[in-house]
Amino acid sequence: MKPLGEQHVVVTGAAQGLGAALARAFAEAGARVSVMDREAEALTALAAEIGAKAAICDLTDAEATADAIGAIRAEAPVDTLIHNAAILRPQPFPQVDLATFRATMDVGIEAGFLLAQAVWGDMAGRGGGALVFVSSQSGIKGFAEETAYCAAKHALEGLSKCLALEGAGQGIVSCTVTPGMYMRTPMSERNYPPELKEKWVDPIRLAPAFLHIAKTRDPALSGQRLDAWKLSQETAR
């Protein structure tokens, strides 16, 4: 275990929704927090609110992503990475253009790969760390009009499993987390039908799961896909 107050935590897609909620939760727990997003105004405001470092970055740009994580690491080695950023643009398959497919894959899987590789040495050199990739039901099964999103989330599941195997001897835990409950976020505002919006919860209620993974670095969690709602309820008892 490593106390959250001694950790440097990086959260992507942190300008709003789940990412913003997690950044606030880790900051409240005493962690040093760095946040990444392309939405400059919202990210800067969040960083000022919680005392975090803001790295304004378009994760579809590999070079910009590498520069941003490099600047973050220059201030302090990274202990926990939460890759939450994603693009979801529902479209019938014949209408999905290559630019949309590439952008979805660039943010969903390429950025996850680049960021994890960048912080791997920090974690290995400090006795371990946690790589947490936010997945969804779209990483488990297929959905109509989610060709690119499902492909990205399925790839993320595979990446996490491989990193769990390679990190086992270095104390690096890698897992995916599915919300397990409908969340009220800007993405769900755009895509959820009315019947699902009646069931949603504030994303801050899922934060205990992420805090638990980062703090415990439990090897039993590595390589697993975890239900954030269920784990959050369990750790709150």
Mean pLDDT of 200-229: 91
This prediction's pTM:
0.93
| Location of structure tokens 């890698």 | 174
Tell me if 39 sits within 8 A of 49, measured CB to CB: no
Q: Is residue 14 within 8 Å of 35, Cβ to Cβ?
A: yes
Strands 80-83 and 53-56 come out as unpaired
DSSP 96: -
pLDDT value for 114: 98
Which secondary-structure segment (H or E) carries 172? strand 172-178
pLDDT at residue number 183: 60
Q: Which residue has the higher pLDDT, 67 or 184?
A: 67
d(CA 62, CA 64): 6
**Position 195 pLDDT exceeds 70:** no
Q: Which domains does the chain have, with CATH numbers?
A: 4-235 (3.40.50.720)
Measured CA to CA, the distance from residue 153 to residue 216 in angstroms comes to 25
Residues 6+ apart with CB under 8 A from 216: 1
pLDDT of amino acid 81? 98
Residue 25: pLDDT band with limits 50, 70, 90: very high
Predicted pLDDT at 235: 82
Q: What is the mean pLDDT of residues 230-234?
A: 87
Burial 105-117 (b: 16+ CB within 10 A, else e): bbbbbbbbbbbbe
- Check residue 193 and give its pLDDT: 66
- Nearest-angstrom CA–CA distance, 122 and 102: 29
Name the burial class of residue 95, with classes exposed (0-12), middle (13-18) and buried (19+) by CB atoms within 10 angstroms of its CB.
exposed
233 pLDDT tier (thresholds 50, 70, 90): confident
pLDDT of residue 192: 66
Q: Give the pLDDT mean for 83-90.
A: 95
Other residues' Cβ atoms within 10 Å of the Cβ of residue 101: 18
pLDDT band (50, 70, 90) for residue 225: very high
Given 26, 149, 210, 229, the catalytic residue: 149
* Per-residue pLDDT reduced to its tens digit, 46-57: 999 999 999 999
Instruction: Say whether 149 is catalytic.
Output: yes
